Amino acid sequence: MHALVTEGVFARDGTFHAVAWPPAGVLEEVFRRLLLAALERAERLSEDFAAILASWRHSGFSVYAASRVDALDRDGLERLARYVTRPALATGAVTIREDGRVDVVTPRVPQTGATSLTLDALDFVHAVVTQIPDARKHLVRYYGAYSHRRCAIVRAKNGATGALAGTPVAAAAPEPVTPAEPGSPEAKRRSAWARVLKKVFEVDPLVCPKCGGEMKVIAWITDRAVIDRILSHRAKAGLESPFEARAGPSDR
Protein backbone atom coordinates (compact mmCIF):
# COMPACT_ATOMS: atom_id res chain seq x y z
CA MET A 1 0.00 0.00 0.00
CA HIS A 2 1.34 3.40 -1.03
CA ALA A 3 0.14 6.75 0.27
CA LEU A 4 0.80 10.40 -0.51
CA VAL A 5 0.35 12.24 2.78
CA THR A 6 0.57 15.97 3.42
CA GLU A 7 2.75 16.98 6.38
CA GLY A 8 -0.04 19.03 7.89
CA VAL A 9 -3.77 19.63 7.76
CA PHE A 10 -6.08 22.00 5.92
CA ALA A 11 -8.62 23.98 7.92
CA ARG A 12 -12.13 24.38 6.55
CA ASP A 13 -11.26 27.81 5.18
CA GLY A 14 -8.35 26.33 3.21
CA THR A 15 -5.57 27.47 5.56
CA PHE A 16 -2.72 24.95 5.76
CA HIS A 17 -1.17 24.11 9.14
CA ALA A 18 2.11 22.17 9.14
CA VAL A 19 2.66 19.45 11.74
CA ALA A 20 5.70 17.51 12.89
CA TRP A 21 5.96 14.20 11.03
CA PRO A 22 6.08 11.18 13.41
CA PRO A 23 8.91 8.62 13.13
CA ALA A 24 8.37 5.58 10.92
CA GLY A 25 8.36 3.31 13.99
CA VAL A 26 5.37 5.17 15.43
CA LEU A 27 3.48 4.92 12.13
CA GLU A 28 4.27 1.20 11.95
CA GLU A 29 2.87 0.56 15.42
CA VAL A 30 -0.26 2.64 14.80
CA PHE A 31 -0.91 0.85 11.50
CA ARG A 32 -0.37 -2.56 13.13
CA ARG A 33 -2.83 -1.91 15.94
CA LEU A 34 -5.46 -0.45 13.60
CA LEU A 35 -5.23 -3.46 11.29
CA LEU A 36 -5.40 -5.98 14.13
CA ALA A 37 -8.41 -4.16 15.58
CA ALA A 38 -10.13 -4.21 12.18
CA LEU A 39 -9.49 -7.96 11.80
CA GLU A 40 -10.85 -8.53 15.28
CA ARG A 41 -14.03 -6.57 14.51
CA ALA A 42 -14.45 -8.59 11.31
CA GLU A 43 -14.15 -11.77 13.42
CA ARG A 44 -11.07 -12.88 11.51
CA LEU A 45 -9.03 -12.90 14.73
CA SER A 46 -10.02 -13.76 18.26
CA GLU A 47 -9.41 -11.19 21.00
CA ASP A 48 -6.76 -13.38 22.64
CA PHE A 49 -4.89 -14.08 19.40
CA ALA A 50 -4.98 -10.38 18.44
CA ALA A 51 -3.42 -9.54 21.82
CA ILE A 52 -0.68 -12.11 21.20
CA LEU A 53 0.11 -10.61 17.78
CA ALA A 54 0.16 -7.10 19.26
CA SER A 55 2.71 -8.21 21.85
CA TRP A 56 5.28 -9.50 19.34
CA ARG A 57 8.51 -7.55 19.38
CA HIS A 58 9.05 -8.07 15.63
CA SER A 59 5.59 -7.40 14.25
CA GLY A 60 6.26 -8.30 10.63
CA PHE A 61 4.94 -4.89 9.55
CA SER A 62 7.10 -2.29 7.83
CA VAL A 63 6.53 1.39 7.16
CA TYR A 64 8.89 3.40 4.95
CA ALA A 65 8.40 7.16 5.12
CA ALA A 66 11.75 8.57 3.98
CA SER A 67 10.60 9.83 0.55
CA ARG A 68 9.79 13.51 1.00
CA VAL A 69 8.86 16.11 -1.62
CA ASP A 70 9.18 19.85 -1.12
CA ALA A 71 5.93 21.77 -1.41
CA LEU A 72 7.12 23.64 -4.51
CA ASP A 73 8.79 20.65 -6.21
CA ARG A 74 6.02 19.93 -8.71
CA ASP A 75 8.22 17.65 -10.86
CA GLY A 76 9.22 15.58 -7.84
CA LEU A 77 5.59 15.30 -6.76
CA GLU A 78 4.58 14.14 -10.24
CA ARG A 79 7.31 11.47 -10.28
CA LEU A 80 6.24 10.18 -6.88
CA ALA A 81 2.55 10.19 -7.86
CA ARG A 82 3.34 8.29 -11.05
CA TYR A 83 5.26 5.70 -9.02
CA VAL A 84 2.37 5.28 -6.58
CA THR A 85 -0.24 4.85 -9.33
CA ARG A 86 1.91 2.89 -11.76
CA PRO A 87 0.20 0.01 -13.57
CA ALA A 88 1.01 -3.60 -12.88
CA LEU A 89 2.92 -3.90 -16.16
CA ALA A 90 4.74 -1.34 -18.29
CA THR A 91 4.29 -1.54 -22.07
CA GLY A 92 8.05 -1.27 -22.56
CA ALA A 93 8.55 -4.50 -20.59
CA VAL A 94 6.59 -6.60 -23.11
CA THR A 95 7.96 -7.99 -26.38
CA ILE A 96 6.07 -10.28 -28.78
CA ARG A 97 8.25 -12.97 -30.31
CA GLU A 98 7.97 -14.28 -33.87
CA ASP A 99 6.51 -17.56 -32.63
CA GLY A 100 3.66 -15.68 -30.91
CA ARG A 101 4.95 -16.05 -27.37
CA VAL A 102 5.53 -13.05 -25.14
CA ASP A 103 8.70 -12.01 -23.33
CA VAL A 104 8.16 -9.99 -20.17
CA VAL A 105 10.95 -8.14 -18.35
CA THR A 106 10.80 -8.94 -14.63
CA PRO A 107 12.79 -8.04 -11.51
CA ARG A 108 15.84 -10.24 -11.03
CA VAL A 109 15.01 -13.59 -9.43
CA PRO A 110 17.60 -14.17 -6.63
CA GLN A 111 17.56 -17.97 -7.01
CA THR A 112 18.12 -18.13 -10.78
CA GLY A 113 19.25 -14.63 -11.75
CA ALA A 114 16.59 -14.53 -14.48
CA THR A 115 15.36 -11.07 -15.53
CA SER A 116 12.67 -12.08 -18.02
CA LEU A 117 9.80 -14.51 -18.38
CA THR A 118 8.47 -16.13 -21.56
CA LEU A 119 4.76 -16.93 -21.67
CA ASP A 120 2.29 -18.31 -24.16
CA ALA A 121 0.01 -15.55 -25.49
CA LEU A 122 -3.07 -16.86 -23.68
CA ASP A 123 -1.13 -17.33 -20.45
CA PHE A 124 0.11 -13.74 -20.75
CA VAL A 125 -3.44 -12.43 -21.25
CA HIS A 126 -4.62 -14.47 -18.25
CA ALA A 127 -1.84 -13.04 -16.07
CA VAL A 128 -2.67 -9.47 -17.12
CA VAL A 129 -6.45 -9.65 -16.65
CA THR A 130 -6.02 -10.95 -13.10
CA GLN A 131 -4.72 -7.45 -12.27
CA ILE A 132 -8.04 -5.84 -13.28
CA PRO A 133 -10.00 -5.01 -10.11
CA ASP A 134 -13.57 -6.12 -9.57
CA ALA A 135 -16.39 -3.77 -10.49
CA ARG A 136 -16.88 -0.86 -8.05
CA LYS A 137 -13.63 -1.72 -6.25
CA HIS A 138 -11.39 1.33 -6.05
CA LEU A 139 -7.63 0.88 -5.87
CA VAL A 140 -6.97 4.59 -5.40
CA ARG A 141 -8.71 6.45 -2.56
CA TYR A 142 -8.74 10.18 -1.81
CA TYR A 143 -9.18 11.46 1.74
CA GLY A 144 -9.44 14.75 3.57
CA ALA A 145 -8.56 17.83 1.56
CA TYR A 146 -7.97 15.69 -1.53
CA SER A 147 -11.43 14.13 -1.55
CA HIS A 148 -13.90 15.30 -4.18
CA ARG A 149 -15.92 17.16 -1.53
CA ARG A 150 -13.02 19.26 -0.29
CA CYS A 151 -10.76 19.70 -3.32
CA ALA A 152 -12.78 22.72 -4.49
CA ILE A 153 -11.46 24.69 -1.51
CA VAL A 154 -7.80 23.69 -1.47
CA ARG A 155 -7.49 23.66 -5.26
CA ALA A 156 -9.30 26.94 -5.83
CA LYS A 157 -8.03 29.10 -8.64
CA ASN A 158 -4.72 30.73 -7.69
CA GLY A 159 -5.07 29.21 -4.24
CA ALA A 160 -2.17 26.75 -4.20
CA THR A 161 0.45 29.36 -3.30
CA GLY A 162 -1.76 30.91 -0.63
CA ALA A 163 -2.43 27.54 1.01
CA LEU A 164 1.28 26.77 1.14
CA ALA A 165 1.99 30.15 2.71
CA GLY A 166 -0.59 29.58 5.43
CA THR A 167 -3.21 32.08 4.22
CA PRO A 168 -6.92 31.38 3.78
CA VAL A 169 -8.02 30.27 0.33
CA ALA A 170 -11.39 31.23 -1.08
CA ALA A 171 -13.34 28.70 -3.09
CA ALA A 172 -13.60 29.49 -6.77
CA ALA A 173 -17.05 30.37 -8.07
CA PRO A 174 -18.46 27.70 -10.40
CA GLU A 175 -18.42 28.63 -14.06
CA PRO A 176 -21.81 28.75 -15.77
CA VAL A 177 -22.54 25.79 -18.04
CA THR A 178 -24.06 26.51 -21.44
CA PRO A 179 -26.32 23.71 -22.69
CA ALA A 180 -25.11 22.05 -25.87
CA GLU A 181 -27.36 21.68 -28.89
CA PRO A 182 -28.73 18.11 -29.17
CA GLY A 183 -26.80 16.12 -31.79
CA SER A 184 -23.96 18.64 -31.98
CA PRO A 185 -20.28 17.61 -31.65
CA GLU A 186 -20.19 19.31 -28.24
CA ALA A 187 -23.18 17.25 -27.06
CA LYS A 188 -21.45 14.05 -28.20
CA ARG A 189 -18.25 15.09 -26.41
CA ARG A 190 -20.13 15.70 -23.17
CA SER A 191 -21.79 12.27 -23.40
CA ALA A 192 -18.41 10.48 -23.29
CA TRP A 193 -19.13 9.50 -19.69
CA ALA A 194 -22.09 7.42 -20.89
CA ARG A 195 -19.90 5.54 -23.38
CA VAL A 196 -17.34 4.81 -20.67
CA LEU A 197 -20.02 3.41 -18.32
CA LYS A 198 -21.40 1.27 -21.12
CA LYS A 199 -17.96 -0.10 -21.98
CA VAL A 200 -16.86 -0.78 -18.39
CA PHE A 201 -20.07 -1.82 -16.64
CA GLU A 202 -22.11 -2.94 -19.70
CA VAL A 203 -24.90 -0.55 -18.66
CA ASP A 204 -26.20 2.19 -20.96
CA PRO A 205 -27.31 5.11 -18.73
CA LEU A 206 -29.04 6.78 -21.70
CA VAL A 207 -31.55 3.95 -22.17
CA CYS A 208 -34.89 4.35 -20.41
CA PRO A 209 -35.27 1.57 -17.81
CA LYS A 210 -39.06 1.48 -18.39
CA CYS A 211 -39.56 1.47 -22.17
CA GLY A 212 -36.03 0.69 -23.37
CA GLY A 213 -35.94 3.70 -25.66
CA GLU A 214 -33.10 6.18 -26.01
CA MET A 215 -33.40 9.10 -23.62
CA LYS A 216 -32.96 12.58 -25.08
CA VAL A 217 -32.59 16.03 -23.58
CA ILE A 218 -35.87 17.91 -24.03
CA ALA A 219 -35.17 20.91 -21.82
CA TRP A 220 -32.55 22.55 -19.61
CA ILE A 221 -33.69 23.97 -16.27
CA THR A 222 -31.00 26.10 -14.66
CA ASP A 223 -33.13 28.34 -12.39
CA ARG A 224 -32.65 26.99 -8.86
CA ALA A 225 -36.03 28.30 -7.69
CA VAL A 226 -37.79 26.36 -10.45
CA ILE A 227 -35.84 23.21 -9.61
CA ASP A 228 -36.77 23.52 -5.93
CA ARG A 229 -40.47 23.88 -6.82
CA ILE A 230 -40.37 20.79 -9.03
CA LEU A 231 -38.67 18.68 -6.35
CA SER A 232 -41.05 19.99 -3.67
CA HIS A 233 -44.05 19.07 -5.84
CA ARG A 234 -42.69 15.56 -6.42
CA ALA A 235 -42.16 15.09 -2.68
CA LYS A 236 -45.73 16.24 -1.85
CA ALA A 237 -47.14 13.94 -4.55
CA GLY A 238 -45.28 10.98 -3.08
CA LEU A 239 -43.21 10.46 -6.21
CA GLU A 240 -39.81 8.81 -6.09
CA SER A 241 -36.80 11.05 -5.84
CA PRO A 242 -34.93 11.44 -9.15
CA PHE A 243 -31.69 11.27 -7.19
CA GLU A 244 -30.70 7.82 -5.97
CA ALA A 245 -27.91 7.24 -3.45
CA ARG A 246 -24.90 5.61 -5.04
CA ALA A 247 -23.33 2.58 -3.47
CA GLY A 248 -19.81 3.09 -2.16
CA PRO A 249 -16.81 1.14 -3.47
CA SER A 250 -16.80 -2.50 -2.51
CA ASP A 251 -13.98 -3.74 -0.28
CA ARG A 252 -14.45 -7.32 -1.40
Q: Where are the domains of the chain?
A: 89-130
With pLDDT > 90 as the criterion, what percentage of the chain qualifies?
Answer: 14
Predicted confidence band of residue 119 (pLDDT cuts 50, 70, 90): very high
Predicted confidence band of residue 37 (pLDDT cuts 50, 70, 90): very high
Predicted confidence band of residue 171 (pLDDT cuts 50, 70, 90): very low
Among 7-11, 20-24, 61-65, 197-201, the least confident range: 197-201
Across the range 220-239, mean pLDDT stands at: 84
185, pLDDT greater than 60: yes
- Res 164: pLDDT: 45
- Res 65: pLDDT: 83
Predicted confidence band of residue 2 (pLDDT cuts 50, 70, 90): confident
- Res 122: pLDDT: 92
- Res 35: pLDDT: 92
Q: What pLDDT, in 10s, does the model give residues 51-108?
A: 888 888 888 888 888 888 888 888 888 888 888 877 778 778 899 999 999 999 988 8
With pLDDT > 70 as the criterion, what percentage of the chain qualifies?
Answer: 81
249, pLDDT greater than 50: no
Please state, rounded to an integer, the average pLDDT across all residues of the chain.
78
The string of DSSP letters for the chain reads ------SEEE-TTS-EEE-PPPPHHHHHHHHHHHHHHHHHHTTSS-HHHHHHHHH-SS-S----------TT-HHHHHHHHHHHT--SS-GGGEEE-TTS-EEEE-PPPTTT---EEEE-HHHHHHHHHTTSPPTT--SS---GGGSTTTHHHHT-TT-HHHHHHT---PPPPPPPPPPPPTTSHHHHHHTHHHHHHHHHHS--TTB-TTT-PBP--------HHHHHHHHHHHHHTTPPPS--PPPPPP--
- Res 95: pLDDT: 92
120, pLDDT greater than 90: yes
